[in-house]
Structure 1
């Protein structure tokens, strides 16, 4: 399975006051807050962690059918630069994050080897929703769509490796 999340940094700056009292406590664990406070760019670290949590939650929701606002149950850990893992209850997901001056984009998968099977789609053609989850008509590959502000990413997890 695959999940992804994109944050338009311009829109996030307008819509979210992450400095307001209680914001960090509501969204981030104590360990994550330490990462944020130690970061050279706290704002980017916040959206990095947030996008990883959201991407992982999309897989968790598909696996369990459970829908709820549970950001404190999704905890992010850093493995390497831009590679991480998110733990949610008994589940573990791996994330890869791209950070630019305009957006933060994270992709979550079940296994780290799944990163070799990701295909970026540039059109919604053929994509339908079944029970609120995007799928390509006649195809069983896992798809995730994320959009925020001026940005959208559609990713698919293919059956075979696309990279060697």
Structure 2
């Protein structure tokens, strides 16, 4: 089970005012709003919860094969510690791991210890990192299935992936 999401914090700060009237009410439960408002860094907490929900949405979409309509209220977040959390959806739960940097917040879902994530500053750099990951001579192609889910094709091998980008940052999980 894979899913990921990244938020460029500088872009988010200029594009989204999370404190405008009723904005948080549209995407977070009351308990989640309380987690944000009680945090020493409310913006970073908001984006952590948002990336957790998005990464879980992508994982459940692939696992349960549902239509790609994101309803943030269908996903409920619990924080375990500074990195780990749980996201609940229709009686199911997934563990998320969040990495905070001064430039971005990245959350991912995975049940496998073999899952990898790569983060880059451009799509070119991301593809270069994939070539290094799979061997310099490989020419990985990033494609989508008919249902819109992404995968990497390397020669005749197909690898399911989760992709995300925001602002300056691109990430892939496989």
Give the alignment's TM-score, normalised by structure 1. Answer: 0.86
Aligned length: 152
- Give the equivalent residue in structure 2 for 1:127: 142
> Aligned residue for 1:61?
61
Q: Distance in 2 between matches of 1:92 and 1:141?
A: 24
Q: Which runs of structure 2 are paired with 1:45-60 in the superposition (5 Å)?
A: 45-60=45-60
Alpha-carbon RMSD across the aligned residues, in angstroms, is: 1.5
Correspondence for 2:79 = 78
Q: Could you say which residue in structure 2 is the equivalent of 1:136?
A: 152
What does residue 114 of structure 2 align with? 117
> How is 1:35-54 mapped onto 2 (pairs within 5 angstroms)?
35-54=35-54
Separation in 2 of the partners of 1:5 and 1:142?
Answer: 16
Q: CA deviation at 1:64?
A: 2.9
In the TM superposition, what is the alpha-carbon distance from 1:89 to its structure 2 partner?
Answer: 1.1
The structural deviation recorded for 1:36 is: 0.6
- Cα deviation, 1:34-86, whole Å, max 9, x if unaligned, reads 11111000000000000000000011222232222310110111122210110
Unaligned runs of 5+ in 2: 119-125, 131-139
The CA deviation at 1:140 is 5.0
Q: Secondary structure at the match of 2:161?
A: strand
Find the aligned partners of 1:66 and 1:78 in 2 and give their Cα distance: 27
Counterpart-to-counterpart distance in 2, 1:45 and 1:134: 28
Q: Report deviation, 1:14.
A: 1.1
Q: Which has the larger radius of gyration?
A: 2
Gaps of 5+ in 1: 157-164
TM-score by length of 2: 0.81
